[in-house]
Amino acid sequence: MHPSDPYETTDPTMKQEKKPWLYISFWVVFFVSPVVFGFLGYQWLPDESYDPRRHELISGVDVSTRYEEKGVRPTLWRSKETMEVFGPSAFMEHRNSERYRLTVVGFGYGLLGCLAFSLRALNTNSQPFLQAVGGSLLLNTAVAAYVFLST
């Protein structure tokens, strides 16, 4: 046992992790996958937001920021193709369904992370298994609650 080796331990109760690269690879894939595949992203409907190339602005509210930037927040817009009128209230049902979808999918995906974290704790004896499960489930529940309340 070399003293500069970070994977060696002098505590006989702690098991050595045999393949730390596997654990690191799992977490890299775990955090990159939602970005690459987009399954934890809001799925917009085609006319849900105002696009000046596809829509004609009917009405809007003047807004400004504390940096003196001014603009218009669209409140009603019309499709140039179908002449159908849209506004934020027309998409409330979709937004509510996306809120539930994002919360459930995110919580389920977080359970996969909880399982990986807890199994590593069990494998290495770095902390009690139930403590690892409880802490990771608490974090997962807090993140899911934040997603539900913020969307």
- Residues 106-126: tens digit of each pLDDT: 999 999 999 999 988 888 888
- Does residue 73 contact residue 63 with C-beta atoms inside 8 Å? yes
**Residue in 32, 29, 8 with CA at minimum distance from that of residue 116:** 29
- Residues 56-103: tens digit of each pLDDT: 999 999 888 888 788 888 999 999 999 999 988 889 999 999 999 999
pTM over 0.75: no
